[in-house]
Each structure stands twice: as C-alpha cells, then as structure tokens.
Amino acid sequence: MLSHRKTIFVVDDEPDIVELVTYNLEREGFKAVGFTESSTVLEKAKQLQPDLIILDVMMPDIDGFELCKKLRSTPETAKIPVMFLTARTGEVDHIIGLELGGDDYVVKPISPRVLIARVKSLLRRFSEQARVERIVAPEVLRIGTLEIHRQNYTVWIDGVEMFFPKKEFELLAFLAANPDKVFTRYQLLNRIWGETVYVVERTVDVHISKIRDKLGRYASCIETVKGVGYRFRWKSEPVETST
C-alpha cells in the first residue's frame, strides 16, 4: 500500500476493462478514475493532475495516439506519465506510441498483477527522476540564446519556441543538465525510456540526430564520443554543423 494515494486515469472504450483495471488499482491503494470516452480526458487531466494516465489506442472519438500528442503539447499535462494499454501488437504501433511521448507500451491481454507491477515501476521511475532533477539542475538551462525550460518542456532559440516531442526534450534536457559527462546509449535508454520499455540502442542515435537538426548552430554542443555514446558541452561559441 502506498503512503499516499496517487491518482491514475484509466481510458478505454470497453467498460469491462475500465472496471477491471480501476478495481485492481483501487485494491492497491491508488485512486483510479475511469473514462470510456477520451474527449474529456485532456481537460480533466489539466484540472486534476493525475500521476499517471493508462490509455487505450483504439478509442472511437480521439484515438490514444492523438490524445497523447495533445497531452504532451499542453504545458499543464506535458509531464504526466502515459502508459499505453492496447490490443495493437505491431512493432510500428509500439514505436509510434513511444515516439509520441508514451512512457510504456503494454499489450493486452495482461494479468492485473503484472499490470500493477508495471504501473508501480513507472511511477517509481518518475518519482526518482523528479527527485534527481530537483537536485541536479535548475528549471531553466541557458547558453547564449538557447533556453531549455524544464518545468514546461519548451525550448527557445533566438526567442523562437521550437517544438521537441517529449523523449527528444527529455534527452536534450538530461544531457544539458549533466555537461561534460559521457553517457552510453544503454544508460540513456534506461534513463529516458526506462528498463521496462523495449527499444534498441539505435533509437538514441535517431533522437540525437533529430535534436541536432532543430538546434541549428547549437547542434555542436552535443558531441558523439566514438564507441561510447554522447555528451553535452556548454560551448561559448557554438557553430553551425551538418552532423
């Protein structure tokens, strides 16, 4: 039993699944709020600030992928963890879900005990992440005209806001908050995606490439350490780079 009740939204168009999941969450000491329609979830999440949203992909009104995009692009909900719970088993769907900002992707059917274990693992990871971020780095990281605002997941370059999907932002912010430290791809995968989510090391390379494209002349701040991984250098005079 948790020392205080965390609120979890359960969003699925099948009432039986909502009832089953919310029942088992309540048994474990969580406060579970069920939804069979996704159209009201964003506003409710802004109001209630749940600790986690368990989200089906195949919703009849706003599908789970689209809702996740809305959650990530809304400052009040950008940091809320999202766990996809879906019957869609395809690798492409799995990748899309994570690319859009999902923090875990669970395929139905799954036993309630395993689901609860995944929920607790995800909540622990985010709790530890928040604790470390409070200690390690300020809310706003600045170099020249580059600003990384960790409290609302925004990046500004030359006074213009640049859009970074959640995983890209988290990867950039983590590296920038730990300048000059070299992280392996495996370490970055565990830190940003978590141990329970299956993604390959190449995923880090793809995200770094996308981040560099958006950073423009600040792209050179992210250095590749051959055979190891990546590090961030707060350079006083960043230069244009095509890599």
Give me the CATH number covering residue 18. 3.40.50.2300
Residue 199 lies in a domain: yes
Q: What is the pLDDT of residue 153?
A: 84
Last residue of a domain, one of 134, 169, 189: 134
Helix-then-strand count for the chain, H and E: 8, 12
| Residue-wise pLDDT tens digits, 214-232 | 999 899 999 999 888 999 9
Mean pLDDT over the full length of the chain: 85
The boundaries of the domain holding residue 22 are: 7-134
Q: What is the pLDDT of residue 189?
A: 84
| Residue-wise pLDDT tens digits, 55-102 | 999 998 899 999 999 998 888 898 899 999 988 877 778 778 877 878
Residues 163 and 199 in one domain: yes
Between 237 and 167, residue with greater pLDDT: 167
Which pTM value belongs to this model? 0.61
Whole-angstrom distance, CA of residue 140 vs CA of residue 187: 24
Q: What is the pLDDT of residue 236?
A: 53
Residues 90 and 145 in one domain: no
Residue 240 lies in a domain: no
| pLDDT surpasses 70 at 27 | yes
Alpha helices in 109-219 (DSSP H): 112-136, 166-177, 185-188, 202-215
Residue 187 sits in a domain whose CATH number is 1.10.10.10
Whether the link from the prior residue into 109 is cis, omega within 30° of 0, is: yes
Residue type for 12, please? D
Residue 180 lies in a domain: yes
Residues 165 and 192 in one domain: yes
Mean pLDDT of the region 136-154? 82
